[in-house]
Chains A and B, each alone.
Chain A
Amino acid sequence: MTTAFDDSATVAAARRDAAGVLPARTPWQLFSRRLRDDKVALAAGAFIVFLVLVALFAPLIVRAVAHPPNAQYPEALDPQFGTPTGPSSEFLFGVDTVGEDVFSRVLYGARVSLEVALVATAVSVAIGVLLGMLAGYYRGATDTVISRVIDVTLAFPVLLLALGIASSCSLGNGCAGGLVKPGLTTVIVAIVVINWTYIGRIIRGQVLSLREKEFVEAARAAGATDRTILFREILPNLVAPIVVYSTLVIPQNILLEAALSFLGVGINPPQASWGAMLAEATPIFNTAWWFFVFPGAALLLTVLAFNLLGDGVRDALDPRTAG
């Protein structure tokens, strides 16, 4: 019987079969076991699952217990000064400065945060992995060009670069001939432009090492094309760093979206965004604490959960890095 203390020798001793042979375990089994034993990562994962469900079922939840996120209820404001009012039985998290339901907007804000984080991460990882593989595998001029682009991009202060891109595309019909429209698309593009460089550099380094391995030599000797070698031999060996990096960069992207919305170049109103809500709440946090606390707590818990899950995944994939 296994115990919480997942000591390989103990487990192995407990699990030797009748013939005394230690059963083999796949990497996935090892990974799953280590992850299951990390209670903090499990809790974080559970929260993320909860968040995803909330985001998916936000319309149903709001219909049941709250008000539409973009509907305004001026009658809920202070009639004399027009200031927002706090939590009540009708407005669970209070209302904001124009009488919108903060509870609904926090729920819908989860959609924006998750969408931006997941889509932006997926696209930036895809681009970074592809370009990183090409740079590391082909080396030479290809590596030089890609590496220099990475270096130049990384030389820009992250927030300033994101602000510049977001600001440029936030007006009129956007930029790139209207392909990048103001709002969600602009935010995703800004994050992708910055983020692909990090994973690209990591993957490049990994590929530089992997291309010298015997299995690559063997594949080359067997007549495999470069494309086959890259996607069938090298890429599967990059899954671990890709997964680890992705889970660790998601919370950064959530924060970057929040920062851009906070600075007014992210999600356009009336669409709910935690960052934009924090920006509106900051000047009045001492008189309308609910408007600041609830979206702030949601952002904090989401980022924390992804960070903890990312740590857990990294530790589970490579116990040598566990603290």
Chain B
Amino acid sequence: MRDRTRSSGSLRRSWWAAAGVCVAALALVAAGCGGASGGGASGGTTTPKPATGQSKGGTITVLTAGDVDYIDPGQMYYSFSYEIGYATQRPLLAYKPDSVEAVPDLAAKMPTVSKDGRTVTVQIRKGVRFSPPVNREVTSADVKYAIERGFASSVANGYVGAYFGDIVGAPAKTTAQVPNIAGIQTPSRYTLVFKLKRPSGVFVGALGMPITAPVPREYAQKFDTKTQSTYGMHQVATGPYMIRANKAGSINGVGYTPNRRIVLVRNPNWNPNTSWRPAYADQIVFKEGFQDPTVMTRQILSAAADVNGDTPPPPAELRAISSNPEQKQRLFFTPTGGSRYIALNTAKPPFDNRFVRMAVAYALDRNALRLTRGGPIDGRIATHFIDPSFGDKGFEQAGGFGFDPFPSKNHSGDLARAKEMLKKAGFANGVYRGPRLTQVADNTPPGSETAKVVAANLAKIGMKVRTISVTHATMYTRFCNVPKNQPNICPNVGWLPDFHEPQTILDVTFNGKNIVPVNNSNWPQLNDPKINAAMGRAETILDPEKRYEAWGKIDQMVTKTAAAIPWIWENFPSVYSARVTPAPELWNGGGPDVTFMAVKSEQS
């Protein structure tokens, strides 16, 4: 998912990874960090086990800078949105906060896959009901409709084509109406059968995406027939919480005021016997618009609020918290499972030239880039795209920590090699003498500082860079996501995995077939036939080991093109107030799992 940043440039949120690193592996990673290229964090680096046996009651307050991308579960594709989506909806599969392995949620048990990989069968739980005003029991037809509506132009889900496009009968493009997809079958009230055109190694993982949360057709259809669906503002819930709504089911101005507030209250029709979520709190309030992360952090430390939702505490506050023994216990660094990178536009000069891109890769001082995010506590220097948290599920196969096609001493850049690359590109003396370059960057720290470092590094090899500073949302929606408006450099992009499969890190972002005119996530516009073909083959591998091997090699291929230059495998710092139990989501880049957070007994 895109790292739409948790404000100030966090990664694009499109992929939230089902970070699958187990706690033990995390401890190893944390213990191994600390060197110049290490990502050692002070404070808690292991994901805490969520507290159990807590008392119910109380209100939890989450502070955020921005808003959700979409409130509609069929459209949301952002790690922050998932903090609300997974508390109010029940996709077929979901995740416990300290795990990256999907477990059945709406599904009664894990899906079964036929030997040829073309048939996936899911049984859904009985007794799961929609919230008011629908109230009735959920059936398999509701899941079918939920996925189908993602293909309609009024919903236009951002990942439905990538993960559900192989279903028999799935349209190749968005349709004017919600299609009836023949390959999604409901032979019984509680059974779903997916027929696939070709085997897919990641289809089961995709069943953990929020688009699989059930939607009642008879209620939602009237909203979905509009040009832009308004179901989101009238959504019903199946999770332990619902967005507060009026009697007619509208949440607009009731439980959801865009860019201001989202209020979750208990879903009266939620049956705890059908769910593993404890749902301790009575109410969760997301307060939005906290543009100053320092103020946000101080409110949390003073218990005026409880946790940061989309924005990390700034480095100065992290430093202060780390030196306070009591506060340090409430600070956690969760591997996001993804990386930040500098995307170079390969569709136009000069970055259509591989040697020019390689010059940039050599010139960049990754250490200086990491310092803009807080230094080693923010994560390890990235040398390719699959995150260390994947372990032997792609990271090792990509060469692990040892694979670095653009090495330099201390990752501080190698100007001599950069100049050699420029000479190979035809620039005399190894100094770039082409037109001035443009980058579009965040106008607030740390994204703005990252952009400054990029410009300063490129100036050393003769590249003059003009920086256009805009809001984070504008950077994506007007420039970097729109190929025809894209500048030479998008320095503040990144990607989190959609779930714990290496394909989700590389496919949407670097496969040429996924370049789209708007809402594009293949920012470098990489369209390499060999890489595309390799991805096409890897997508159909069912055997996990072979699949990880294939994607590991693809990671190396993509990295060597220097179309995008990764520079950090990032940790997301989250700080909790003393009044609540922490529950950072390992699978969702460290965002708080509000269904596992509790207001401590003495505070209720």
Contact = CB atoms under 8 A, between A and B. Distances in A.
Given A172-B468, A268-B469, A81 B315 contact: yes
A79 B42 CA distance: 13
Contact of B456 (A72, A79, A284, A287): A72
Contact of A171 (B316, B376, B470): B470
B448 A287 contact: no
Contacts of A71: 456
Nearest to A284: B316
Contact of B467 (A80, A98, A268, A280): A268
A269 B314 contact: no
B375 A269 contact: no
B469 A264 contact: yes
B318 interface: yes
Contacts of A81: 315-316, 318-319, 322, 374-375, 377
Interface string B318-333: 1110100000000000
Nearest to A286: B316
Contacts of A277: none
B468 A182 contact: yes
B314 A283 contact: yes
B119 interface: no
A4 B451 CA distance: 58
B466 interface: yes
B456 A70 contact: yes
B12 interface: no
Given A81-B315, A81-B377, A97-B449, A74 B455 contact: no
B294 interface: yes
B467 A74 contact: no
B292 interface: yes
Contacts of A172: 468
Nearest to A172: B468
Nearest to A71: B456
Nearest to B412: A74
Interface size classification for chain A: 20 to 34
A153 interface: no
Nearest to A268: B467
A287 B316 contact: yes
B580 to A, nearest CB: 25
Contacts of A270: 452, 455-456, 467
Contact of A280 (B318, B375, B445): B445
A206 interface: no
A82 B373 contact: yes
A83 interface: yes
A82 B467 contact: no
A78 interface: yes
A171 B294 contact: no
A79 B314 CA distance: 15
Given A80-B377, A82-B315, A172-B468, A98 B42 contact: no
Interface in B368-414: 368, 370-378
A269 B470 contact: no
Interface in A92-144: 97-99
B517 to A, nearest CB: 19
B574 to A, nearest CB: 17
Given A283-B293, A284-B294, A82 B453 contact: no
B368 A72 contact: yes
A98 B365 contact: no
Nearest to B42: A80
A98 B452 contact: yes
Contact of B316 (A74, A83, A182): A83
B316 A80 contact: no
A151 to B, nearest CB: 34
Given A70-B456, A82-B370, A97-B445, A171 B42 contact: no
Contacts of B456: 70-72, 98, 270
Interface in B447-465: 448-449, 451-453, 455-456, 459
A299 interface: no
Interface string B294-322: 10000000000000000000111011101
A203 B42 CA distance: 65
Nearest to B471: A264
Contacts of B314: 283-284
B443 interface: yes
Given A98-B372, A269-B467, A78 B319 contact: yes
A269 B42 CA distance: 32
A77 interface: yes
B300 to A, nearest CB: 16
Nearest to B318: A81
B367 interface: yes
A67 B378 CA distance: 28
Contacts of A171: 468, 470
A269 B448 contact: yes
B469 A80 contact: no
Contact of B371 (A74, A170, A264): A74
A305 to B, nearest CB: 31
B372 A97 contact: yes
A261 B53 CA distance: 53
A97 B453 CA distance: 10
A152 to B, nearest CB: 30
A308 B368 CA distance: 43
* Interface core residue of B322, B372, B377, B466 (most chain A CB under 10 Å): B372
Nearest to B295: A283
Given A270-B456, A283-B293, 19 more contacts: A70-B459, A74-B367, A74-B368, A77-B375, A80-B319, A81-B315, A81-B319, A97-B445, A98-B449, A171-B468, A264-B443, A268-B466, A268-B469, A280-B445, A283-B292, A284-B314, A287-B316, A287-B320, A288-B316
Interface of B: 42, 292-294, 314-316, 318-320, 322, 365, 367-368, 370-378, 443, 445, 448-449, 451-453, 455-456, 459, 466-470
5 contacts: A74-B371, A81-B315, A81-B316, A81-B319, A287-B316
